[in-house]
Amino acid sequence: MLLFVGLGNPGAQYAGNRHNIGFMAVEEIARTHRFAPFRARFQGRVAEGTIGAERVLLLTPATYMNESGRAVGEAARFYKIPLSDIVVLHDELDLEPGKCRVKVGGGVAGHNGLRSITAHVGNDYKRVRLGIGHPGDKARVHSYVLSDFARAERGWVETLCGAVARNADCLARGQDASFQNKVHLAMEAAGFGAPKKAGDA
């Protein structure tokens, strides 16, 4: 079984926050692949289903971002899921809005959700980094991530989450480069990516 974790904060007041794009993406995966309804378990909400040929447990921690690792650790221990089968979807300040990058391990770049997960289960899990852009001033980061996406941003947010969900079978099979490329092409096709100029590498 694979464990796909979406990061965010629980509660209606946080639902539209930039920090919650991980929740949004996982919930779209559940809809697209017709998972069983979410239910309370492992200090969070879980839904079970299949993506392609793989059994997958979706998890959105209810512990608030800074304690995400408690829920992830509990689910991973119960199902004996190794780090290599854990995929964490989260907001990424260091990527332009709508960009998506996949990496395994590495630093947590000040992300408290990742820091908590690393503390509880180790560092070598897969991260799906969903770009939300940077406010430009470190002092504004906290209020920026905890503010809602603007109305003008909702188009790319929905397109990105939809592209992640439709191509989640690549993630489940470990085809990270293919997943990343398909999401990029979907964003570009929808008008949310700058097409390369002739002569660009």
Q: Count other Cβ atoms within 10 Å, centred on residue 10.
A: 17
Query: Which residues does the chain have with pLDDT short of 70?
Result: 193-201
Beta strands in 138-199 (DSSP E): none
**In 80-133, which residue ranges form alpha helices assigned H by DSSP?**
112-121
CA distance 140 to 18: 13
* Domains defined along the chain, listed by start: 2-189 (3.40.50.1470)
pLDDT at position 201 is 36
Burial class (CB in 10 A: 0-12, 13-18, 19+), 64: middle
The pTM for the full model equals 0.94
Give the model confidence (pLDDT) of 66-113 as tens digits.
999 999 999 999 999 999 999 999 999 999 999 999 999 999 988 999
Active site residue 19: yes
